[in-house]
Structure 1
Amino acid sequence: MGRLLVAEFRKTLTTKSWWGLMIPAVVLAFGFALGWGAFANEVGDVLTSSQTQTIARALGIETGNLPMGLLAIAHGINIGLTFPVIFGVFALAGEYSKKTITTTFLTAPNRVSVLTAKMITYIVWGAIYGIVLAAVSSLGILITVDGSRLPTGGQWIGVLGASMLAGVLATLFGIGVGAMWNSVVGSVVTLVIYLLIIENVLVLLFYGLWRIDWLGAVLPNGTMNGIVGAIGAQAFGASGVKVPGLDKETQWTLQYVAGAPGAVSWWASALVFLAWTAVFFAGGWAANQRRDIT
């Protein structure tokens, strides 16, 4: 197993995919965190102005020191998580497309050991992606969000841990999809369209037309985003704006601003996305036990 792990790390480090995907992930994560941080900070200025405070008190709403940084940081991390998903696709589908899978399987004791080594290797890479995304997103909000509205030390550690967990699961999810489809191009194109467009449209459409607010809590992209996004949503609801009898529309809006519409909690999102990951990973594992090599 040790030699297989060394071989898998060499495969990833000697190709361009790891840094070719890391660069746009960093750029987009930083840009989204920067933009959402500036927007969230402006909203915080409006909500904490003397005029708004007076109106809020008259309505029975208490505004405190709003954690606007937590609302913004998830957007940077979540857009960046698309890239570890794509990176995971290359684990098996990439080897089939390059015809290197034959050598990999024939020089290993069995296919189970190969897939196990790949899983361990890409868990490490997923954690690295999570750390990098959390770091650049944090830099983005540090530049645009006032110091009093930044996460506390404990919240920052929580975001880092959630980002690493999301990165690991995102990478394994990509491995499963790529292994089942056995096509890099097909898997990547479908995943990008689904993650960035289709599911977001579905969540907005179902909420806008039928007020179905739980869809983001059960679909893959929503649950992946909710691992980090729900931390911001929960912190905002707990220590930011407190409205007696908070209605569902306000709650859903706060979740959407935090990048996790429909999410109940970070751990619930993690469990549901783990289930999606397990389904695709197990399917890919089973498919590769039977698939012929040439």
Structure 2
Amino acid sequence: MHIVWTELLKLRTTRLWWGITVSLLGLSALGAILTLVFAGDEPGFALSDETGQRSLFGSAGFNATFALVFGIIGMAGEYKQGTITPTFLAAPQRWHVVVAKALAFAIGGFLLGLSSSLLVAGIAYLGLAIKDIDVVMPASEILEIVGGQTATSAFYGVLGVAVGAVIPNQIAALIGALVEQLIAEPLLFNFFPEQARFLVGGAGSILAGAPNVGATLSLWAAAAVLAAWCAALLSLGSLITERKDIT
């Protein structure tokens, strides 16, 4: 438990945390405002119908990616900065460090997702009120989006740590993760939608309330898929970390 508190202290006192938080909140606010300003009148896009409002309340679409990047830098960045050696000296069983970081960045991802989702929801309510448009989305569905996006960000924080443990080179880990998420998975989804829903991005989009066309999993099933990916990659990352020569 002491290692977890140490990692949380590192997380809270680094400029990176505040930089990522401010950047995410700014992008999320911008996305919500642009949706309010440029929403059309066509069915599915109009802010007066439920589909349009779902897009508005779900416009905090950067949460998971920011949490993933944050987790990768939190783990692989220690190798780059040369701080990994004293970190491991303080906890000779290296897998304890990996798990502690995963827990710390799960909390960090949770806070990133929650703050961004609540900000977008607040802007959405205010914008609709200014436009004199009734909120037709059930409150339960809005809470589902906020909760789903928050949970997805927490999972992605863990995944970031796992990826950083598997690929200790920070640049390689960041490029690999972003290519997989932004290019490889969307391509796979076009050709194999049934199978792709069990990938990280497919399950994450379902849990966050923005599923790809044809992606069908319950929220609990999507959460279970993400948890399985976290467990598998953390196990692999812990094994690699234990065997890696740090000298």
Normalised-by-shorter TM-score class: 0.7 to 0.9
Structure 1 residue 136 corresponds to structure 2 residue 119: yes
Show the counterpart of 2:229: 276
Question: Is the 8 Å Cα contact of residues 63 and 149 (structure 2) preserved in structure 1?
Answer: no
Show the counterpart of 1:157: 143
**CA pair 42-30 structure 1, distance change in 2 beyond 3 A:** farther
Deviations for 1:101-141, whole angstroms, at most 9, x for unmatched residues? 11011122532332332222112111101111211221343
**CA pair 137-216 structure 1, distance change in 2 beyond 3 A:** farther
Show the counterpart of 1:71: 55
Share of identical aligned residues, percent? Answer: 26
Q: 2:242 is aligned with what amino acid?
A: Q
* Distance of 1:201 and 1:32 partners within structure 2: 24
Show the counterpart of 1:225: 205
Determine which of 74, 90, 110 is the counterpart of 2:93.
110
* Distance of 1:155 and 1:266 partners within structure 2: 12
**CA pair 17-142 structure 1, distance change in 2 beyond 3 A:** same
Show the counterpart of 2:165: 179
Shift of 1:44: 4.6
Please state whether the residue corresponding to 1:214 is helix, strand or coil.
helix
* Distance of 1:100 and 1:94 partners within structure 2: 8
Determine which of 71, 84, 95 is the counterpart of 1:88.
71
Please state whether the residue corresponding to 2:91 is helix, strand or coil.
coil
* Distance of 1:216 and 1:201 partners within structure 2: 9
Shift of 1:215: 4.6
Structure 1 residue 32 corresponds to structure 2 residue 15: no
Deviations for 1:7-47, whole angstroms, at most 9, x for unmatched residues? 21222223222122222222222233333455666335888
Bigger radius of gyration among the two: 1
Question: Is the 8 Å Cα contact of residues 92 and 182 (structure 1) preserved in structure 2?
Answer: yes
Shift of 1:195: 1.8
Structure 1 residue 99 corresponds to structure 2 residue 82: yes
Shift of 1:144: 4.5
* Distance of 2:116 and 2:187 partners within structure 1: 25
Question: Is the 8 Å Cα contact of residues 38 and 144 (structure 1) preserved in structure 2?
Answer: no
Please state whether the residue corresponding to 2:42 is helix, strand or coil.
helix
RMSD: 2.8
Shift of 1:181: 0.6
Question: Is the 8 Å Cα contact of residues 133 and 163 (structure 1) preserved in structure 2?
Answer: no
Question: Is the 8 Å Cα contact of residues 217 and 262 (structure 1) preserved in structure 2?
Answer: yes
**CA pair 264-117 structure 1, distance change in 2 beyond 3 A:** closer
Relative to the length of structure 2, the TM-score reads: 0.84
